[in-house]
Structure formats: structure tokens, C-alpha cells
Structure 1
Amino acid sequence: MRVVVVGGGIGGLAVGAGLRRAGFEVVVFDRDTEVAATGGYHITLDGRAQSALRELVAPEVVERLLASASALRLRDRDAFWDRRGRLLGRGPDLREDPSVDIDRITLRTVLAAAVGDDLRLGRAVTGIDHDEDGTPRVLFADAAPVTGDLLVGADGTHSLVARQLAGGPTNAPAGIIGFSGRTSLEDLSRDEQQRLGPRSGLAIGPRGAALYVGFLDPVGNAALDAPALRAAVTTGPTYIWGAMFPESAATDAIRELRGGELQTALQTGFRERGWAEHMLEVIDRADPRSVAAFRFNAASTRAQDLAPWPAGRITALGDAVHATPPTAGMGAGAAIRDAASLVEHLREVGDGTTALTAAVSRFEAGMRERGGEVLTLAMKTVRWILATDTTFGAAATAAATPVLAAANRLRRHG
């Protein structure tokens, strides 16, 4: 069986690596000319995503990933703050949590190496169709079409493949614009280093402003202590932050800014909403080259709405089907689990188109449930942030957070 994969993001590379290891003929096309041409931010892989990776790639590849990842079990419990920096509460104990954080660039680079020569970079797909006998076909502007027994769209939120299958968009803007960047721990003041600590945290204030600060240290907190295998692009304790505002004409305008200008605009947006100055230090002292803007898109949280097409010899996975805001940290992991599921179902396929279609149908049924689960979790935080942008929500947030902070102090002293 020959499988053609459109898209070389995390999901596309994972399915390509898994199919190659399973002995399938596979080719992965991606428009990027370099594997590292992606956002330099981090993603979380929970235990289920790691189990899926172990099914897709060789043990030595998993070891390389773990040696390049930061273990959640080695950091402090997550923190929740208000806009003044007052502690509202802590997250769960992480000592038994198998999850790891890893740079997106690192994960993509290691997976690309597992795909090997079956990855074709700099190949932008312009369309898909079928040839005369019904075989799926991928079209290019500057090259001859490529056919395969199965075509898999792993081309992300704005998927050409899924859009054609569904007859329209498979997701929509979630109402939030995100801005992210990287700040080295050593570039922060001692007070902020102490407040933030070796943990991730989230602060939400009135009028839809939120700031997530994720802690990443794949050297000091490596999931696997094997320096010779390390491939992490982050080489010291780093905060990967995400600033969030409701989508509006104002946020649309600052999306066009870059570097220091964007950092200044973000700080202004928080100050206008009453945030304490020290809370903005992580933005102010970020590497200007790392600061970027992106829109949150989301598919339906209803499993039955996902992949709304009859099963056939063209399918899709990951964000192409269940585009997920980053607020649950589960989107990339879900794409990897999709990839493992598809490979597993294809292993069971006998001869003939009917058997292949049945395998794709079973895969898509599981993917719908998986996508609905992660989307439901991610959208809870999105709706919480948007609720603070109403008149009542803003007033309630401003009134409630000092009370929660005082209650937390009493608990700690008690």
C-alpha cells in the first residue's frame, strides 16, 4: 500500500514515521523548505501521546525525545495568579505525572529524521482529486501529480484536504488572539525568578486578558538523563509565555507588529486593564525575535460534527479535523494519537478498496471521540477568558480575585 501524506507538521511526520516503520510505502509533502521553520514554542505530551509515539518510532527515537524534553514531575505545582500577582491557588501534585514538555522545533526535527528520505520539503500542494480509476491524487503547481492508495491530510488548521472533504471550513476563530514568546530565566529580576519559580502558571484578569507562563528546562529537568542524546533547542531554564486577548479591531492591529514594537503594545494592553508592572516583566525581557501572534481556531466540541464526510480513500487527522486552541496543551498529543491509530488500523487491512475504506471508517470514528475530548477541555479555558470580557464578568473577576487571594493566604498560614 502506498500512502501520500499532505503536511509535515507533528501529525504528518508522526504518521509518516509510523507507516515507514510498519513497512508501508509512504511519502510526506510539506511546503516548508526547512524542518526547523516552525514556531519555537513548547508542547506537552501526556502519557497517552508518549505511548502512541512508542508505537510509531523506534525505541532509540523515543529516548532521544525524552532526553530532549522537560519532565513535569520534576517541577513545582502550577500556580494561578490574579492580575496583581497575588497567588490564588496551586495546581495538582505533579510528582506522578508522566507528561513532558518539548520544543516544537525539537520534536519536529527528531520525527523528520525518523521519516528520512520519505519527507519531501518545499512541495506546496495546490489541490487533491482522483484519477480515472478513483485513485487519490495530489496536485502541485510546479510538478506532476502524485497518486497513492490512501491520501492523508495532515495540513493543519487551514487544511486544504479537510476543507475539500467537508465542503467548507472545519473550524472557526475561537474569539481569542494569542501572542507568545520566550524569556530566559536568567534575564528576569530575582523577585520574578522567585515568584515564577520552576513551574508553569496562569493569570486571568478582567476584560479578557490572560497570561500563561510555561516553564521549560530540558537540561536541568530532563525526562531522561542522557546528554549525548539531547537535541533540545532550549539549553537553559526558559519561560515560554502566551498572552491572550479577545479578538477585536485593536488586537487585529497589533498582530501586524513585530519584535520590540509588539512587546510594547502587549504591555500597554495589560496596563490598560490594570495589571501590575512586575507581571509584565516576562514580556518585556523576552527575546524580541521570538515574539509572534496567532489566532485561536477551534473545531466543534461535538464529536459527531468532526470529520463530517463519508469514509473513503482520502482522510485527515490532527488540527485538520479537530483544530484545538493551545489552552489545554493537548492538540499535538492528539495528532500523534491519531497517527498511531491510523497506522494500527492500516496494519489490519487486507486486499481491496472495501477493506481499506472500512479501516479508515474505524479510524475516523475513534478520532472524532478523541478530538471532541481535547476540544472540550481546551474550550473551557477559552470560555472562561471570554466571560471576563463581559460587563458582569469583568466586575466579578475584579471583585472575586482579592477574596480568593486572601483565602489562599489564610490556607497557607493555617
Structure 2
Amino acid sequence: MRVVVVGGGIGGLALGAGLRRRGFEVAVFDRDTDVAATGGYHITLDGRARTALEALVEPRIMQRLLASGSALRLRERDAIWDRRGRLLGLGPDLGDSASVDVDRITLRTLLAEAVGDDLHLGREVSGVDHDGHGAPRVSFTDGEPVSADLVVGADGSHSVVARHLAGGPTNRPAGIVGFSGRTLRRDLGPGEHQRIGPRSGMAIGPRGGALYIGFLDPVGNTALDVPELRMSVTTEPTYIWGAMFPESTATDSLRDLRADELRAALLDGFRERGWAAHTLDVIARADPHSMAGFRFNAASTRAEDLAPWPTGRITALGDAVHATPPTAGMGAGAAIRDAAGLLTHLSAVANGTATLTDAVAHFEADMRRRGSEVLTRAMRTVRWILATDTTLGAAATVVSTPILAAAARLRH
């Protein structure tokens, strides 16, 4: 069986690695010319995503990943703060967590290595259809088309493949514009260094302003202490943060800014919403060249709305089907689980215990349930942020946070 995978992001590379490992004929095409040229900064793999990945890649790849990952069980409990920096609550104990944070570049590089010569970079897909024999076919902006027994779209929220299957977009803007950046922990002022600590957390204020701070330390908090295998691009304790505002003409225009201009605009946006100066230290002291803006896109949270096409020899996975805002930290993990699920069903075809159509149908049914789960979790936070941008929500936020902060002081 020959499988063509469109898209060399996390889900597409994970699938390509698994297919290659199981002896399938596979080709993965991506428009990037360098796997390290990727957006985003870190990915969380929970226990389910780790188990799925172990089924897709060889143990040596998994060892290098864990040696380059930051174990959540070694950091302090997550926190929720208000716009003044007051603690509102703590998340669950992470001591038994199997989750690992890893740089996106590190994970993509390792997966590309696992795919090997079956990865074809610099190939932009322009369309998908069927050839004269009825086989699915992929066309490129340059070069000859390629046919296969199965085509899988893993080409993200703007997927060419999923758009072809669905007859239109499979997601829409979620109403939030996000901005990300990196700040070394040692660069924070003493007060913020102490307040935030070695943990991740979220602060939400009135009028839709929110700031996520993710803690990444693949050296001090390594998931597997084998330094000779380490290849993380993060080499010391680092906060990888995400600033969020409701989408509008004004906030959307910030996505065109870069470096110092973008940093200044973000700081102004939070100050206008009444945030205390010290809570913005993580932005003020960020590497200005690490900062970038992006729109949150989201598919429907209803399982029956996902992959809304008849089962056939063209399918899709990951954000191409269930585009997920980063507010749950589960999007990449879900794509990896999609890849492992599809590989399991295709292996049944190779063993003669299932037809290709049945395998794809079972895969898509599983993917719909999985996509609905992660989207539901991610959209809770999105709706919470957007609710504070209403008159009532803003007032409720201003009134309730001092009360919550006082209660938190009594508890802790």
C-alpha cells in the first residue's frame, strides 16, 4: 500500500514515521525547505500522546525526545493570577504527571529524522483529485502529480486536502489573536522571578486580556537524564508565553508588527486594560526577535461536525480536521494520537483483516470523538477570555478577583 501524506507538521511527520517503521510505502510532502523553520515554541505531550508516539517511532527516537523534554512532574503546580499578579488558585499536583513539554523544533527535527528519505521538502501541494484509474492524486505548484492508494491531509488549519473534502473551510476564527515570545528566567526582575517561580500559569483580566506563561527547562527538569542525547533548542529555564486579546481591527493589525514595535504594542494593550507593570515583566524582558502574532482558529466542538465528508481514499487528520486553539495544550498531542490511530487501522488492512474503506471509516469515527474532546477543553478558556470582554464580564472580573485572591491567601 502506498500512502501520500500532505504536510510535514507534527501529525504528518508522526504518521510518516509510523508508516515507514511498519514497512508501508510512504511519501510525506511539505512546502517548507527546512524542518527547523517552524512556528510555535513548545508542545505538551500528555500520557496518551506519549504512548501514541511510542507506537510510531523507534525507541532511540523516543529516548532522545525525553532527554530533550521538560517533565511536568518536576515543576511546581500551575497557577492562576489576576492582572495585579495576585494568586487566585493553584492547579493539581503534578508529581505523578506523565506529561512532557518539548520544543516544537526539537520534536519536528526528530520526527523528520524518523521519516528519513520519505520526507520531501520544498514541495507545495496545490490540489488533490483522482487520476484516470480512480486513485487519489496530489498535484503540486511545480512538478508532476503523484498518485497513491491513500492520501492523508496533515496540512494544518488551512488544509488544501480537508477543504477539498469538505467543500470549504473546516474551521473559523475563534475570536482571539495571540502573540508568543520567549523570556529567560534569569532575565526577569527579582520580584517576578520569585512570584512566577518554576511553574506555568495563566492570568486573565477584564476586557479580554490574558497572559499564559509556560515554564520550560529541558536541562534542569529533563524527563530523561541522559545529557549526551539532549538536543533541545532551549538550554536553560525559559518562560514561553502567550499574550491574548479579543480579535478586532486594532488587535489584528498587531500581527504585522515585529520585534520592539510588537513588544511595545503588547505592553500598551495590557496597560490600557489596567494590568500592573510588574506582571508584564515577562513581556518587557523577552527576546524581541522571538515574538510573533497569530490568529486562533477553531473547528466545531461537535463530533458530528468534524470530518464532514463521505469515507473514501482521501482523508485528513490533526488541525486539518479539528483545528484547536492552544489554550488546552492538546492540539499537537491529538494529531499524534490521530496518526497512531490511523496506523493501527491501516495495519489491519495490511494484515488482510479489514478493507481500506472500513479502516478509514473507523479511523475517522475515532478522530471525531478525539477532536471533539480536545476542542471542548480548549474552547472553555477561549470563552472565558471572551466573556471578560463584555460589560458584565469585565465588571464581574474586577469585583471577583480581589475576593478570590483573599481566599487564596487564606488557603495557602
Fold match, TM over 0.5?
Answer: yes
After TM superposition, the structure 1 = structure 2 runs for residues 276-287 of structure 1, keeping only pairs within 5 Å, are 276-287=276-287
Aligned to 1:45: 45
Per the alignment, residue 103 of structure 2 pairs with: 103
In structure 2, how many angstroms separate the alpha carbons of the residues matched to 1:379 and 1:196? 25
CA shift, 1:61, in A, is 0.7
Aligned residue for 1:207, secondary structure, equals helix
Secondary structure of 2:349's aligned partner: coil
**Counterpart for residue 123 of structure 1:** 123
Shift of 1:142: 1.3
Equivalent residue, structure 2, for 1:299? 299
Alignment of 1:159-170 (within 5 A): 159-170=159-170
Taking the aligned partners of 2:220 and 2:351, their CA distance within structure 1 comes to 50
CA positional deviation for 1:350? 5.0
Q: Counterpart in 1 of 2:214?
A: 214
* Equivalence for 1:236: 236
1:178, 1:245 within 8 Å by CA — same for their partners in 2? yes
What is the match of residue 346 of structure 1? 346
Write the deviation string for residues 241-293 of structure 1: whole angstroms up to 9, x where unpaired: 00000000110121111011000000000000000000111001111111000
Q: Could you tell me how far apart the structure 2 residues matched to 1:7 and 1:85 are?
A: 41
Aligned residue for 1:248? 248
Tell me the CA shift for residue 186 of structure 1. Answer: 1.0
Q: Deviations over 1:185-216 (max 9, x none)?
A: 11111111111100001000000000000000
C-alpha separation between the residues in 1 aligned to 2:137 and 2:57?
Answer: 27
Cross-structure match for 2:190: 190
Q: Which runs of 4+ in 1 moved over 3 A?
A: none
Question: How far apart in 2 are the matches of 1:278 and 1:141?
Answer: 49
Preserved contact between residue 210 and residue 244 of structure 1 (Cα < 8 Å): yes
CA–CA distance in 1 between the matches of 2:103 and 2:314? 30
Q: Distance in 2 between matches of 1:258 and 1:2?
A: 43
- How far did 1:7 drift? 0.1
* AA in 1 matched with 2:338: D
1:353-398 deviations in Å (ceiling 9; x for gaps)? x811110000000000000000000000000000000000000000
Read off the aligned partner of 2:396 and give its amino acid letter: A
Alignment of 1:253-292 (within 5 A): 253-292=253-292
Q: Matched residues in 2 for 1:177 and 1:11: separation? A: 24
Aligned to 1:324, what secondary structure does the other structure show? coil
CA distance in 2, matches of 1:351, 1:121: 31
1:224 aligned partner = 224
Number of the residue aligned with 2:69: 69
Match of 2:181 in 1: 181
CA distance in 2, matches of 1:202, 1:32: 32
Q: Which runs of 5+ in 1 are unaligned?
A: none
Distance 1:18 1:274 in 2: 49
- The runs of 5 or more residues in structure 2 that have no matched partner are none
Counterpart code for 1:295:
R
User: How far 1:83 moved relative to its partner?
Assistant: 0.1
Aligned to 2:311: 311
Counterpart secondary structure, 1:349:
helix
- 1:7 and 2:13 correspond: no
2:71 aligned with 1:84, yes or no? no
- Quick one: distance in 2 between partners of 1:221 and 1:78? 15
Across the aligned residues of Structure 1 and Structure 2, the Cα RMSD in angstroms comes to 1.0
1:141 and 1:67 map into 2 onto residues whose CA distance is 39
Superposed CA offset, 1:272-331 (max 9, x none) = 000000011100111111100000000000001000001110000000000000000000
Rounded to whole Å, the distance in 2 between the matches of 1:252 and 1:360 is: 38
Deviations 1:220-256 (A, max 9, x none): 0000001111110000000000000000011012111
Aligned to 2:16: 16
User: Is contact 1:350-1:356 (8 Å) kept?
Assistant: no
TM-score between both structures, scaled by the size of structure 2: 0.99
* Amino acid aligned to 1:341: G
CA distance in 2, matches of 1:411, 1:186: 29
SS at match of 1:120: strand
Does 2:108 correspond to 1:112?
Answer: no
